[in-house]
Amino acid sequence: MRAVLMTGTGGVEVLRIGEHADPVPGRDDLLVRVSATAVNRADLLQRRGLYPPPKGASEVLGLEMAGEVIAAGSACEGWAQGDRVCALLAGGGYAELAAVPAGMAMRIPDNLSFEEAAAVPEVFLTAYLNLVALGGLARGATVLIHAGASGVGTAAIQLAREAGAVALVTAGAPEKIARCLELGAGAGWNYRNGPFAPWVAAQTGGNGVDLILDFVGAPFFEQNVRSLAVDGRMIVLGTLGGAKVDTLDLGVLLSRRLRIVGSALRSLPVDRKIALTKRFAEFGLPRLADGRLRPVVDSVFDWTDAAKAHARMEANANIGKIVLRVTG
């Protein structure tokens, strides 16, 4: 099969189309002909040699895909050739073929194209894991979502809205905040205008938020702690701004009963990914089918232009997902 390969690690110039061995599906796997995949921050880090794939995962980039089943393993029930599926992957999405455990495959609603469906698995499963499974988001709660216009951010806003919670967001441009408000965020703050903690205090009457989803890390840490309500939870999904925090007052955590949780979807065991997929599918697929939830697609590139797609994400120019169309 053909795939987007790397000639080494570094900038976007290392990406090229080349020949790669076909995946070998097991008895519990579906073999899928990929029609579309999507770009994630992890792909950029892996391309630079900073985020190697988990043991046993494909070294080909790509953490999600959408396509048609061409074969099902002997232990797979309920799947047939031609079924439209999308799925989370540990790697291998930037390719013509992908093997995926059948339990991690989701049927694509009829109203979604392959390009739209490829924009679902990574961001919606990440958002669901961290908002619901780890964050315990409940109706009436308030959540602060950093990088609100990112793929995960746009998914999290919609999930919070559907759960009956209030989403506050930060982003770095007025047009990004405007899009977040369109998706259902209650209010937004441009972090380029200064610290967000006073704004959060004003939005919550000084009480703080119940939950924070943070991708930035160290630069936001102190403000995040200040912005949490009593019994608040902060989920750390990334450290784009840095991983080392200079000081941490444990007394604040104790007195306000705060919880700080680290989260990484890619390294979860397969059985936990399957359980997560099933939980999200029960909640999310009906809402994707009737339009209450929508994948936010920023742009679609042919996979031969993967370098341009990576450059767009590195420039933080996207609102929502950057999709790669896999062409024959």
Q: 219: burial class by Cβ within 10 Å (0-12, 13-18, 19+)?
A: middle
Write out pLDDT tens, residues 63-104.
Answer: 999 999 999 999 999 999 999 999 999 999 999 999 999 999
Q: Does residue 241 register a pLDDT over 80?
A: yes
Least confident interval from 176-185, 201-210, 232-241: 232-241
The DSSP-derived string for 244-272 is --S---HHHHHHHT-EEEE--STTS-HHH
150: confidence class by pLDDT, cuts 50, 70, 90: very high
Is 225 in contact with 252 (CB distance < 8 Å)? yes
- Helix or strand or coil: residue 169? strand
pLDDT of residue 328: 73
284: confidence class by pLDDT, cuts 50, 70, 90: very high
Q: Does residue 29 register a pLDDT over 80?
A: yes
pLDDT of residue 152: 97
240: confidence class by pLDDT, cuts 50, 70, 90: confident
Write out pLDDT tens, residues 103-117.
Answer: 999 999 999 999 999
Rounded to a whole number, what is the distance in angstroms from the first to the last CA of the chain? 10
Closest by CA to 99, choosing from 53, 49, 56, 47, is: 56
The domains located in the chain, with CATH, are 2-120+268-325 (3.90.180.10), 123-262 (3.40.50.720)
Q: 324: burial class by Cβ within 10 Å (0-12, 13-18, 19+)?
A: buried
> 3-state secondary structure string, 16-44?
EEEECCCCCCCCCEEEEEEEEEEECHHHH
Phi, then psi, of 209 in degrees rounded to 5: -100, 155
**105-107 vs 142-145, strand pairing mode:** unpaired
pLDDT of residue 68: 98
292: confidence class by pLDDT, cuts 50, 70, 90: very high
